[in-house]
Amino acid sequence: MAQLLLIGSVVILACILCSKLSNRFGIPVLLGFIAMGMLFGSDGIFGIEFNDFALTEQISGVALLFIMFYGGFGTNWNEAKPVAVPSIVLSGMGTLLTAGLCGVFCWLVLKMDLLTGLLLGSVLASTDAASVFSILRSRRLNLKYGTASMLEIESGSNDPFAYMLTVVLLSIRSGEGNLGEIVWLVVSQLAFGILLGVAVALGAVFIMRHYRFKTSNNYMLFIFAVALLAYALPQVLGGNGYLSVYLTGIILGNSSIPDKKPLVNFFDGFTSLMQMILFFVLGLLVTPSQMLHWILPAVLVVVFLTLIARPAVVALLLTPFRCKLRQQSLVAWCGLRGAASIAFSLTVLASDPSLLDSFFNTVFCVVLLSISIQGSLVPLLAKKLDMIDAEGDVLKTFTDYTDETEVQFIQINVTLRHPWANKMVKDVQVLPDTLLAMILRDGETVIPKGDTVILPGDVVVISAVGFSEGGKVHLNELRLRPNHPFCGKQLKDCEFEPNSLVVLIRRGEQTIIPKGKEVVYSGDVLVINYPEEI
């Protein structure tokens, strides 16, 4: 057990360090996780033998459901709404057309039988949400004409369509279903996926708004369980769990629910861990020496998808929406293949293990080539096509975006001797760029006007622009013991570090904003702002 934990900790630390290097050198971070898995694998330095495809399929399913949930949770619907229709058309019809074109290509050029070729096309038809999100976030790559939101919705929502198409083709290939059963399979996948995803999300929102949990941790566990329910319930009933969990994520992420910021922080970290585990295990599963035979077919598939199939499908579907040619070109190039394709190929292997060598290794090679070549060139191509919006911020397309100019509030207790006591608001002098926002008086809120009189006992609330460079503020607490040399002295007579400032004194339950003449006593806690270099 200890050895397993040791290996796990080393792997996670190595993946985190790999992500830092990937960001520095412009390499997609998810490619680094796969490379790390291959390094630990049977042909790597550490030589770990791992060939449990069934376990990998289960790990992939769990990881993908949370990646898709957070992909929906993080999509800002207000930003995405203007491009929602073309995105969904590209997600649905685009997946179907790409799979068909790729299948015919594999049949004619790679000499696969038609159904196997279509299966390969179906698992490769979806673009990878994790890769797209990673590149957009890490490079702060905001794109013109709402293209970032378009890519996010398309890549987040087309995995369910690719999965559904794969399931349908597997049913046809096995010969288990007639036409009526195939039609019902499609209808049930869509109907249960959509209806149950929306129902679970709305039920969760209702509970969170009407039932207050004691701690933020309970909200996290609740949403965690909701994500599992949104996936598992439709899967049990024959629906599309990936579609359901994605819709649940969108509705929850764009609803007003309590403790949303801690939820974002939790799922951001948890989803990152899921991506690390997923890509590492997939890298661990593959045997690089066996992949060499399938490099040429994979290169042909990548070239066809990247330069022919994807551009043709994008042009066909986006031209009616009057999308500009350079926007279509960038969207076509951003059709990255990723973990979902490999995970869905494992579903195919579970149905037909004889496809292990040809099918799985070809898909894996395609994903590696797509992430490494297409992913690395996305920022350069966006610049060459003049598609970068320098004035925007791509993080606004995510619901976890927090504007850097957040408003912060300060409260001032007005006493009998306070200089504002019994004065009208218009006669009170406040600092520039601040606003007297409201007055709390006897449990009621008073919205101040110029002739509003501030009374003793009022709590005045002032608003100002929040300080965004929080990393440059270094606060330390100094608790005064009975024998401390500062005890009994005025602050102005106390010797502190150069360029430091006491910003607050805590005395029991009392908070004091110091002005230099305050005398400090034993038991006081001084909150001191030190310069950055200390």
More confidently predicted of 368 and 397: 368
Report whether pLDDT(154) > 80.
yes
State residue 403's pLDDT score. Answer: 41
Q: What is the pLDDT of residue 3?
A: 62
Q: In terms of pLDDT, which residue wins out, 69 or 148?
A: 69
Give 458's DSSP letter.
-
Whole-model pTM over 0.85: no
Q: Is the pLDDT of residue 453 over 70?
A: yes
* Residue 244 pLDDT: 92
Instruction: Please identify which residue in the block is written with the tokens 């009057």.
Output: 322
Specify the pLDDT at position 402.
Answer: 45
Q: Where are the alpha helices (DSSP H) in 358-454?
A: 361-369, 376-384
What local confidence, expressed as pLDDT, does residue 11 receive? 66
- Tell how many helices (H) and how many strands (E) occur in the chain: 19, 10
Mean pLDDT on 69-84 = 80
pLDDT for residue 227: 92
Q: Spell out the domain ranges in the chain.
A: 56-396, 407-465, 472-530
pLDDT at 457 over 80: yes
Tens-place pLDDT, residues 465-511: 666 554 456 667 788 888 888 898 888 888 887 777 888 888 876 77
Which top CATH class is 472-530?
A: alpha beta
For domain 56-396, give the CATH number: 1.20.1530.20
Residue 31 in contact with residue 375, Cβ under 8 Å? yes
Other CB atoms within a 10 A radius of the CB of residue 234 amount to 27
Q: What's the average model confidence in pLDDT over 220-242?
A: 90
pLDDT above 90 as % of the chain: 15
pLDDT tens track for 26-47: 456 667 777 777 777 776 676 7
pLDDT band at 179 (very low <50, low <70, confident <90, very high): confident
Which residue(s) pair with 471 in the sheet?
A: none
pLDDT for res 214 = 72
Q: Do 407-465 and 472-530 come out as alike in CATH topology?
A: yes
The average confidence (pLDDT) of the chain is 80
- The pLDDT value recorded for residue 325 is 92
Predicted local confidence at residue 405, as pLDDT: 45
Rounded average pLDDT over 191-204:
92
Q: Is the pLDDT of residue 89 over 50?
A: yes
Percent of the chain predicted with pLDDT > 70: 84
Exposed e or buried b per residue across 499-525, where buried means at least 16 C-beta atoms within 10 angstroms of its C-beta: eeebeebeeeeeeeebeeebebeeebe
Cα–Cα distance measured from residue 37 to residue 278, given in angstroms and rounded to the nearest whole number:
10
What angle (nearest 5°) sits at the alpha carbon of residue 128, between those of residues 198 and 191? 25
Is residue 158 within 8 A of residue 125, CB to CB? The reply is yes
Q: How sure is the predictor about 404, in pLDDT bands with cuts at 50, 70 and 90? A: very low
Is the distance from CB of 208 to CB of 258 less than 8 angstroms? yes
Residue predicted with more confidence, 13 or 88: 88
Identify the bridge partners of residue 501 per DSSP, sorted by sequence position. Answer: 529
pLDDT of residue 77 exceeding 80, the answer is no
pLDDT in tens, 275-308: 888 888 888 887 777 777 788 888 999 999 999 9
Calculate mean pLDDT across residues 192-215: 87
Please give the pLDDT value at position 18: 64
CATH architecture of 407-465: 2-Layer Sandwich (3.30)
The per-residue pLDDT for 44 is 67
Does residue 136 carry a pLDDT above 50? yes
Question: What pLDDT, on the 0 to 100 scale, is given for residue 392?
Answer: 56
Report the C-alpha gap between 363 and 310 in whole angstroms.
17
Mean pLDDT of 59-82: 82
- Of 91-95, 174-178, 416-420, 428-432, where does mean pLDDT reach its minimum? 174-178
**In whole angstroms, what is the distance from residue 487 CA to residue 493 CA?**
11
Indicate if the pLDDT at residue 274 is higher than 50.
yes
Q: What is the pLDDT of residues 317-354, one digit of tens each?
A: 999 988 889 999 989 988 888 878 888 888 888 777 77
